[in-house]
Structure 1
Amino acid sequence: MGEAPLLLHKEEEEEESFVTMRTGNVWTAVAHIITGVIGSGVLSLAWCVAQLGWIAGPFAIVFFAAITLTSAFLLCDCYRTPDPEHGPGRNRSYSEAVAMSLGAKSARAFGVIIQISLCGLTVAYTITSTISKRAIQKSNCYHNEGHEATCEYSDTYFFLIFGAVQIVLSQAPDINNIQWLSIVAAIMSFAYSFIGFGLGVAQVIEKGHVKGSLTGIGTSSGIEKMRLISQALGDIAFAYPYSVILMEIQDTLKSPPSENQTMKKASTISITVTTIFYLLCGGFGYAAFGDATPGNLLTGFGFYEPYWLIDFANACIIIHLVGGYQLYSQPLFANAERRISDKYPYNGFIKNEFSFKLPLIPAFQLNLLRLCFRTAYVVFTTVIGITFPYFNEVIGVMGGIIFWPLTIYFPVEMYFKQRNVEAWTKKWVMLRIFTIVCFLVTMFALVGSIEGLISAKMR
């Protein structure tokens, strides 16, 4: 893993100056991060606080936020791999950084985990967007026919619409071509977060008191309570998933100033803002509904009026998740297509670009590999979403799978390698304890969430 990859970095950077310029700044990075962080996870936070109670609920949100920000700082410093002979080479993705710092075996293990994670995130976004589409129909139905009406709709049609939109958007060559989509999606995330927060406040004011308890919702058995707590922790972990795309975002930033300085600033702003939103949405949602807090704040019991505001909020969710799907898909697309291209460098099906011009839209380039592979991927995630359309359970499982390996283990191991931290020093012991504690919490969340998903499928 020595000179060859570093030389490749140098050649890539020289080529970049003639082909494309990185123009991102702290605010485009903030838009990307917020698009990636404030996703479907925010909608379950009131339910999470309800399971954990007024003390443990907010503490868990802040705890995961602090860990995510610490991990982000470690990853920001891994973007440039130091080398005394060739200078710092760029790691354009998380997987490249792992390969350069930890070697081929770790890179292969990482590759499997991150591809599963990215795929799982897009499945979760597919499910959530479908739930929001259905919620718009239900709120209109309840408004027109009354709350006692039977307003049930099939999800399959909505899944197919979302999949069709993603097939079109997935033809964008890379993440640099969807900065506009991330900005729109970030605005939408603020909009529906404010609406969820505002509706919670309105419910508290209308009822005149704050619901909930210090220990959360009671259950008939201790085992059931533990399962719900573990699922809540998994849901909160899922609400902070952007470590998997951090370096792809960092690779869009112009330099100077150095990319790690800009990315640390953007990460601090984004995590601070989103955590405040999370605390407000989760807290006021629980305060409004208490033990009746729904799994999805904007599509559960109680928020039927004003129906037009519910429709608007769910429309914002859908638009945001359209952008979020692309933000998590593009790194997966880039990695898979890069590997295929490296293996078959002279294949016309892989390399050739065809220009198309349709009425009313600018001309665009179409690649057959991109068209076939990305279409197949969107179809796959759509089918999985149709098969497992369970909101809280799915995001709990994905939080359990993603959080520890990608947010804790690999950043810490790369830090040890790059800083030459010796075993059994104070810093080494503290980070090892940190890693073990987070592993135990994550496994607890994962086991409970898997059990919940199995139970939901069997019902």
Structure 2
Amino acid sequence: MGDQTANQNQVSNDVGNRKPTGALWAATAHIVTALIGSGVLSLAWATAQLGWIFGPIVMLLFSLVTCYTFTLFADAISSEERAAYDTYMKIFESKLDRIKFKIGEVVYYISLFGVAIGYTTESSACLNAIQWSKWFHSGGDYHMNRILCVVIFGVIQMFFSQIYECKILRRITVFVTAVTSFAYSMIGLGLSVAKVAVTGKFMGSSTGISIGTVTETQKIWRTFHAVGVIAYAYSYFIILIEIHGSINSPTSERETLKKASRASVISVVLTTLIYMLCGCFGYAAFGDLSPENLVTGLGFDKPFLLLEIAKVAIVIHLIGAYQVYSQPLFKFIENEVSQQKLARLVWKTIFVAITSFMSMLLPSFNDGVGLIGALGFWPFTVYFPVEIYIKEKEKKKEIEKWSKKWIWLQILSFTCFIISIAAAIGSIAGFVLNLKTFKPFKFAN
């Protein structure tokens, strides 16, 4: 009994000695970095599949669910636990049974791995688009190719993967990625608004892309795929604990949780507003022909300089975002394999090489976005927070099985599960269709 008390005191001391670096603005910027990613440029395409009625409604519902489940999660985790566990998986391991934890762990790291592949694909597409636009406007020879663009991005990530642990570099990365993500989002939004102003009309319809432009089957799959794309836009939950670690510790850890909660809610509200503006104005500008990416697609061909700035901003953002999302996976591998510098150099290089190779097999960023969103949203944004909340409240006799709140939470979780399954099926269907015409290792575009 004495040993147990001593251990508990030691844990309390360890918790008290932990002082997260950063401030509320850093946590907010970190969340913005995770939320306002390049996926925001795909929301016009997603809105085009769903239409004026369901497009904004789906985005709003995902926002409400994200905010709600976070409040449940924050309420269920004590201040000591939040301070003691610095990753999402460590909290899961302490709260859930072994089988659920192992399943969640596999899905969690697959999701992070998938994000790294998707970011590599999108970055290479932006690099390719930059070179293509220069060739188009100059009339010169077009030499850049997709494979080389992937290699360039991969080499950059191999370098940053080794030096990202530097605290100053991490803070600079968070700031730069937040600024660049906001920059290209605003450029995409501004160009869409300008196009609507010039044409003087809002394109699109209440039900989205029409039958005839696509087949009935394609309409169904695209609708499900669009839900996955929107789900991806709200997938920051998987690095939630790491984000909160950037907040300065105030007078108490409970106050830190409140501070983190405010940062999360404010950030989700802000990004939802940006999502709706980008998605709706992009759809208004292009209607059924809304590109998968407002900046790198064929929607705009001028102003040339502004578009190039947006493309460069996307690449810079994704360089930092790749590291932000990969760090939990890096820590996991480091704990399981080795913390020696040579070993870390080797396996981080191998990791980047594998994600680069896998990105060459992906037809487009949009194909991976829907699947990653479907794979990660339900388990990490809904199921696990709800399960942890119910488990903790049952211990305290604050919620009973089959009570109204218990039933409501189960309905919410099950509904989101069905939506995620449908989104995954739609994304896979779109991926399979694109594979019919895609040549993975084609060197010329």
In 1, Cα distance between the equivalents of 2:141 and 2:300? Answer: 16
Closer, same or farther: CA 325–89 of 1 in aligned 2, 3 Å:
closer
Q: Normalized against structure 1, the TM-score is what? A: 0.87
In 2, Cα distance between the equivalents of 1:49 and 1:157? Answer: 32
| Aligned residue number for residue 207 of structure 2 | 215
Q: Deviations over 1:414-447 (max 9, x none)?
A: 0011111321011100000001111111111100
The structure 1 residue matched to 2:43, chosen from 39, 45, 50, is 45
| Aligned residue number for residue 441 of structure 2 | none
In 2, Cα distance between the equivalents of 1:202 and 1:124? Answer: 30
Q: Contact 1:142 / 1:304 at 8 angstroms: preserved in 2?
A: no
Pairwise CA distance, 1:269: 1.4
Q: Contact 2:203 / 2:287 at 8 angstroms: preserved in 1?
A: yes
Q: Deviations over 1:131-166 (max 9, x none)?
A: 111111122222223xxx996842011111111111
Q: Contact 1:46 / 1:284 at 8 angstroms: preserved in 2?
A: yes
Amino acid paired to 1:47? W
Q: Which runs of 5+ in 2 are unaligned?
A: 438-445
Q: Does 1:181 align with 2:181?
A: no
Q: Contact 1:72 / 1:246 at 8 angstroms: preserved in 2?
A: no
Pairwise CA distance, 1:13: 5.8
Closer, same or farther: CA 9–110 of 1 in aligned 2, 3 Å:
farther
Equivalent residue of 2:417, what SS?
helix
In 1, Cα distance between the equivalents of 2:435 and 2:166? Answer: 35
Equivalent residue of 1:453, what SS?
helix
Amino acid paired to 1:120? G
Amino acid paired to 2:155? A
Q: Which runs of 5+ in 1 are unaligned?
A: 342-349, 352-366
In 1, Cα distance between the equivalents of 2:12 and 2:144? Answer: 51
RMSD: 2.3
| Aligned residue number for residue 445 of structure 1 | 423
| Aligned residue number for residue 371 of structure 1 | 345
The sequence identity of aligned pairs, in percent, is 39
Amino acid paired to 1:65? S
In 1, Cα distance between the equivalents of 2:410 and 2:154? Answer: 42
In 1, Cα distance between the equivalents of 2:27 and 2:211? Answer: 43
The structure 2 residue matched to 1:393, chosen from 360, 367, 370, is 367
In 2, Cα distance between the equivalents of 1:186 and 1:400? Answer: 24
| Aligned residue number for residue 331 of structure 1 | 328
| Aligned residue number for residue 360 of structure 1 | none
| Aligned residue number for residue 443 of structure 2 | none
Closer, same or farther: CA 167–204 of 1 in aligned 2, 3 Å:
same
| Aligned residue number for residue 14 of structure 2 | 14
**Which aligned runs of 4 or more in structure 1 are off by greater than 6 angstroms?**
none
Q: Does 1:434 align with 2:412?
A: yes
The structure 2 residue matched to 1:192, chosen from 178, 184, 208, is 184
In 2, Cα distance between the equivalents of 1:117 and 1:196? Answer: 27
Equivalent residue of 1:187, what SS?
helix
Pairwise CA distance, 1:99: 1.1
In 2, Cα distance between the equivalents of 1:88 and 1:39? Answer: 26
* Aligned 1:45-444 pairs, distance under 5 A: 45-80=43-78, 90-145=84-139, 153-172=144-163, 174=165, 176=167, 178-220=170-212, 221-256=215-250, 257=252, 258-341=255-338, 350-351=339-340, 367-420=341-394, 421-444=399-422
In 2, Cα distance between the equivalents of 1:89 and 1:291? Answer: 48
Amino acid paired to 2:206? L
Pairwise CA distance, 1:89: 5.9
Pairwise CA distance, 1:192: 0.5
Pairwise CA distance, 1:181: 0.2
Pairwise CA distance, 1:79: 4.8
Amino acid paired to 1:216? G
Closer, same or farther: CA 16–152 of 1 in aligned 2, 3 Å:
farther
Q: Deviations over 1:268-327 (max 9, x none)?
A: 111111111111111111111111111111111231111111100010111111111010
Q: Contact 1:58 / 1:279 at 8 angstroms: preserved in 2?
A: yes
In 1, Cα distance between the equivalents of 2:243 and 2:75? Answer: 14
In 2, Cα distance between the equivalents of 1:37 and 1:414? Answer: 24
Closer, same or farther: CA 276–33 of 1 in aligned 2, 3 Å:
same
Q: Contact 2:290 / 2:299 at 8 angstroms: preserved in 1?
A: no
Q: Normalized against structure 2, the TM-score is what? A: 0.90
